[in-house]
Structure 1
Amino acid sequence: MPLWASAQTGHQRIAEENTIRTAIRERHRGGVTVDVASDEAVQMVIDANLPAEEHAAFRPKGRRR
């Protein structure tokens, strides 16, 4: 988790990790080899499974004050 990310409870962190693991398992079943996936592809999977309020598209743009 990056240092600038918002604080999470243990339950939220575990739920996020389980979501990522589930997405990777589904990709494996579909024939996608995650071991050779590009960083961009992996980031897309992670972003697709983030709650909407945490997604980068909904964050304010520009410099934070």
Structure 2
Amino acid sequence: MSHYPDAPDVAIPGVSRTAMKPVWDGLAFQPRLPLSLSYDHRVVDGADGVRFTSLPRHLLADIRRLLL
């Protein structure tokens, strides 16, 4: 629920099962954290949605990055 009465909730981030799943990148299998973002395309551009989920996915894929 929004803190502002007229502001709509336009995006909901989510995490699927907590298991890392390997994804083939053409050279080797890479771990992939299943993050998702549901959003209203009338308000949020798809490219912005992908950028929003890319950083947490990148950081959580190798927890050592959070410590540096």
TM-score (norm 1): 0.29
More helix by share: 1
Larger radius of gyration: 2
More strand by share: 2
TM-score between the two structures when normalised by the length of structure 2 = 0.28
